[in-house]
Amino acid sequence: MKLSVTIATKNEAVNIEKCLQAVAFAHEIVVDDDLGTDDTAERARAFGARVIPRDSRGSFHENKNLAIKEATGEWVLSLDADEIITQSGLQIPLNLLLRPSHKFLKKYMLQGGYR
């Protein structure tokens, strides 16, 4: 099973490295960068992420969807750059991972969230 992590960003240089380090286990990391003014994209590339620069023109959710479409993994974990995956956050019940009802854009989805 191949896992892709997608991260939509805009001016997230202060957060991106911690987020990327926390998902280094993924087979692929796709960062959709909303053409910010800081060095978020360069930091993500240096980490090995595939960066897609795109101007969302105020429609940030479209960047999240584009990153998901670009992901090649069977499973996709979609995060914001200020969301950090912890060890306890990785303990997802197997039955949740195998339920086909979590498909979106023809891919199985896990969505990050705030606690």
- Cβ neighbours of residue 42 under 8 Å, at least 6 residues apart? none
Token representation of residue 16: 């991106």
pLDDT of residue 71: 96
Q: Which domains does the chain carry?
A: 3-111 (3.90.550.10)
Q: How many helices (H) and strands (E) does the chain have?
A: 4, 6
Residue-wise pLDDT for 82-110, tens only, equals: 998 876 666 554 445 555 555 555 666 65
- How would residue 59 be classed by pLDDT, with cut points 50, 70 and 90? confident
